[in-house]
Amino acid sequence: MCFTFYTNVTNPINWLYPYTEKVFQISSETKHVKENCLHARNWISDYIEKRRAGKRKSSVAADTDILSLMLARPDVFTDEVIIDELLGFFGAATETTHNVMKTIVTYFTKAPESLAKVRSEFD
């Protein structure tokens, strides 16, 4: 996503962003990324509506999950802000997990004795 964003913003047509407030999709790949992002945003928006309507319930005690807390303050959290926050929350967790797994795998390739210890613990 970062690469496609960079590709878009460096294209001269997108230098007009300060005046148009729109980033134009340059290639079919960037259009595909935008479609995926819109699909994710729509899914989250539908979920928010189901929670707000009571069709979905929080499984956290006393409704103290992040979405319930945001929905309790509509004067502060609009739907767009909630969607942005949830995407950032899950995106950050995904990236962190990815980096940790890369570090572990790299370590095990350089320290096979540690890998053997971990395998023996699982056995």
26-67 pLDDT, tens digit each = 778 878 888 998 999 999 999 999 999 999 999 898 889 999
- Please report, as a single letter, which amino acid is at residue 19: Y
pLDDT range class, residue 3, cuts 50, 70, 90: low
State how far the Cα of 77 lies from the Cα of 52, in Å rounded to an integer: 13
- Comparing 46 with 11, which gets the higher pLDDT? 46
| DSSP designation for 57 | -
Question: Are 63 and 78 contacting, i.e. CB atoms less than 8 angstroms apart?
Answer: no
**What is the reported pLDDT for 1?**
62
Return the percentage of the chain with pLDDT > 90, whole number: 55
Q: Distances in Å between the alpha carbon of 88 and those of 17, 54, 57, 95, 99? A: 23, 24, 22, 10, 16
SS3 label, residue 26: coil
Q: Is residue 98's pLDDT more than 70?
A: yes
**What is the reported pLDDT for 26?**
78
